[in-house]
Amino acid sequence: MKKVQILGPSYSGTTVLGYILNTSDGWFFGSEVHRLLYSYVEKYGAKNKNIANPKCDFCGMDCKYWTRNLLMELKDNKSDTLQDIYDVFQKHHPEISTFVDSSKKLEFFHDTKIDYTLIASKHPVRLLASRFYNKRESLGVNSEALSSVFNAIQGDKAKFLDYAKEEVNYFYLTYSDFFKNSANGMLIKMDEIVFDENHKNNFLNFLDLSYGNVPLIILQIMRFTL
């Protein structure tokens, strides 16, 4: 079973990229698999019941892939590397040829053989806007309305400018680390993949896929999700 790692800051399009690849025959998107690591569950499970009692992000407890038996085996084995998890998954699902993991950070992939590395990116302004919105509660915005976020920024520009500077610096350090340690990876420009035919083809060729493997409609739908 081949493994694909998807790297990128939160809200950079890693999950959408995983959804796309999940449509390919024999491919499976496992979401952020690091949340199943024994040490991760031990560290964060007491504060988060979803981590303490993991389940499929898409199907809940009725998932035919992340079954109760599989999850229990991981727990009993105290599986603490991604490779351990991949091995157990492959034993339960030999029909899967390629496993996609969006654990995002390089540190989770130590001691794991990876076949393809994808680095998800957006235009910095769009990425910053996504992070502003999704972290709005920590920034004192308690409404889901975009207008509320806009009004909060207008009301305290200095505060949000400082936050933006911190975020941009984080982007720089994160991507620098990815490029330094993932020389054979491919940068996926999520803003362009649905509009730029060359980038789309390069993405598919990099993974040895074709339009027949990834339905064109999926790439078109991305226009409304990014």
Q: What is the pLDDT of residue 215?
A: 55
Placement of tokens 């509660």 in the chain: 137
The C-alpha atoms of residue 43 and residue 102 are separated, in whole angstroms, by 20
Closest Cα partner for 103 from 3, 214, 187, 2? 3
Q: What was the pLDDT predicted at 175?
A: 92
Q: Cβ atoms within 10 A of the Cβ of 197, count?
A: 10
The pTM for the full model equals 0.86
- Are 226 and 122 within 8 A, CB to CB? yes
Classify residue 60 by burial, with Cβ atoms within 10 Å: 0-12, 13-18, 19+.
exposed
Tell me the residue length of the chain: 226
One digit per residue, pLDDT tens: the chain, 226 residues? 999 999 999 889 898 889 888 888 899 999 999 999 999 999 888 777 777 777 777 777 788 899 989 999 999 999 999 999 999 999 999 999 999 999 988 889 988 889 999 999 988 888 888 888 888 888 888 888 888 888 888 888 888 889 899 999 999 999 999 988 887 889 998 877 767 788 888 888 898 887 666 655 455 545 444 4
User: How many CB atoms neighbour CB 175 within 10 A?
Assistant: 18
Residue 176: both structure tokens together: 């620098």
DSSP letter at 56 equals: B
81 CB-near residues (< 8 Å, 6+ apart):
37, 110, 111, 112
Q: Determine the Cα–Cα distance for residues 28 and 20; give it in Å rounded to an integer.
A: 10
